[in-house]
Chains A and B, each alone.
Chain A
Amino acid sequence: MSRLTATAATLSLTFMLFAGQTGAAGAADASGTGDLRTAAAHDCQLIKDLQPVVADLLATVDGDATTPGSSAWLNAQAARAKAAGRTQLATWLSERATLRQEQGTVLKTRQELLGTGLSWCTAHGFGAGA
């Protein structure tokens, strides 16, 4: 649970930075060439900040039956509910497990997208340590 709390805090902080510095619509609009580099540096920093957040979320989603919120955990809960005769709860938990798997798939594609962005950042001098 502490990992989840830490993830939530990190994600909230990232979004606060994102909203506060680029606008709620996620805009880093720049008209001058200097502004372009500044905005790109900012975006690249956010991309770097988001990477561990997404990785942490994926670790939770793909975790085993002892990881609350993971697909395996939801399936285990569904099995327990079914064994206890709580069929409606079991069905709901099973559906949540399926949804969690789908969310994991989406998150993996987003992680790949982050990698694309990070490659661009690195190639343009905004990589690690920039």
Chain B
Amino acid sequence: MADRGPALPPPAAGSTGPVVSSVPTSAGATGATGSTGSTGSTGSARSTGATGSISQQDLDTLNGILSSVGGAASSVRSAVAGDSASPQG
């Protein structure tokens, strides 16, 4: 069995979506739910390259990270831009 490297946080139990449950979604962070449509993902379809195998679950988690980070970054960027253009004291 190939070394799979460091484990990513698993998707929430009973969910097929990459919900990164350990990350707060407050303070205007949006887009934290990145549905991947990964139906039937069992993790059995894995490549076995020298750098470790990859499962659909890994991809789901990566997509969850991207959605979560992208949503938060977009939210903060919009807020910063809006405040910078707002009436100043």
A residues near B, CB below 8 A? 1, 4, 7-8, 11, 14-15, 18, 22, 25-34, 36-37, 39-40, 43-44, 46-47, 50, 53-54, 57, 60-61, 68-69, 74, 76-84, 86, 89-90, 93, 96, 99-100, 102-107, 109-111, 113-114, 116-117, 119-121, 123-125
B1-35 CB mask vs A (1 if < 8 Å, else 0) is 00001101100000000001001111111010011
Interface residue total, chain B, C-beta cutoff 8 A: 54
Interface residues of B (CB under 8 A from A): 5-6, 8-9, 20, 23-29, 31, 34-38, 45-47, 49-52, 54-56, 58-59, 61-63, 65-70, 72-77, 79-81, 83-84, 86-89
> How many whole Å from A88's CB to the nearest CB in chain B?
11
Q: In the complex, which of the residues A68, A93, A96, A106 contacts B72, with contact meaning CB atoms closer than 8 Å?
A: A106
Contact A123 B6 (CB under 8 A): yes
Q: B5 to chain A: which residues have CB within 8 Å?
A: 120, 123-124
Instruction: Give the docked Cα–Cα distance between A77 and B67 (Å).
Output: 33
In whole angstroms, how far apart are the Cα atoms of A32 and B44 in the complex?
10
Q: Are B63 and A36 in contact (CB under 8 A)?
A: no
Which of A11, A22, A31 is within 8 Å of B73, CB to CB? A11
